[in-house]
Structure 1
Amino acid sequence: MEIQAKRPSNKGPAEMFTGEVWFDVIAKGEEPSRLRVNHVRFAPGAHTAWHRHANGQTLHVTQGIGLVQSRGGEVIEIRPGDTIYTPPGEWHWHGAAPEHFMSHLAMWEALGEGQDGPETEWGKHLSDGEYGRN
């Protein structure tokens, strides 16, 4: 067993996020496990850019009210206790609702042996119309 001290929080980079986003790395996907876990906190209205994961992603909402959308789908409100699974390669975004903070655990797998390409591919930022569409 190993107890790991809390690492410093990281500010979400502007290339990947709109608004104030902070995350804490919980699991880095080091062998033999490939599991990566971040605790992500979004200020009201903050959200990711469009992105997709080579091995999919699971989100588990811990606080607040958020929004999530897969490309071509509807914007869906998410709340504490909700778990969202996005399959490999599916473009999506997620973040806080306009007037609420939101935090979630983000879980995904690092690339495995024989997998090429980016673990996460980042696309364009959402337009105001995309974020506000319900």
Structure 2
Amino acid sequence: MATTKTIKPTESELEILQILWKKGNASVREVHEELLATKEAGYTTTLKLMQIMHEKGLVKRDDSSKTHIYQAAVSKEKTQKHLLNKMIDSLFGGSPGELVMQALGNHKASAEELEEIQKILDNLKNNK
């Protein structure tokens, strides 16, 4: 199984994981149909990617029936945390503050999002 330190999904694998996180369990056909809504993809390409993901420990496969059913073997939260930490280290010199300033400077946050960010900042200040 993949551990937090070895979670290294490619962009295409992340697209498949997003579908599996949303659906829970899905066949290759179901995943493929979801992918087709946003991009051109061949069924055999989707199948091969999912087989590779199984070998890497990113997905689990139930092959007890003719149609194999897949589910994510890594949690969305752990994957997000791992990839975010990797991005902070590699793109922002290890500074989460630089990431936040870049994100807020380039995208308009709603009033609700800003309020939630302020609550997080207040909690961080109070806990230090």
Normalising by structure 2, we get a TM-score of 0.22
Structure that is richer in helix per residue: 2
Q: Which has the higher strand share?
A: 1
Whichever of the two has the greater Rg, that structure is 2
Structure with greater contact order relative to length (CA < 8 Å, sep ≥ 6): 1
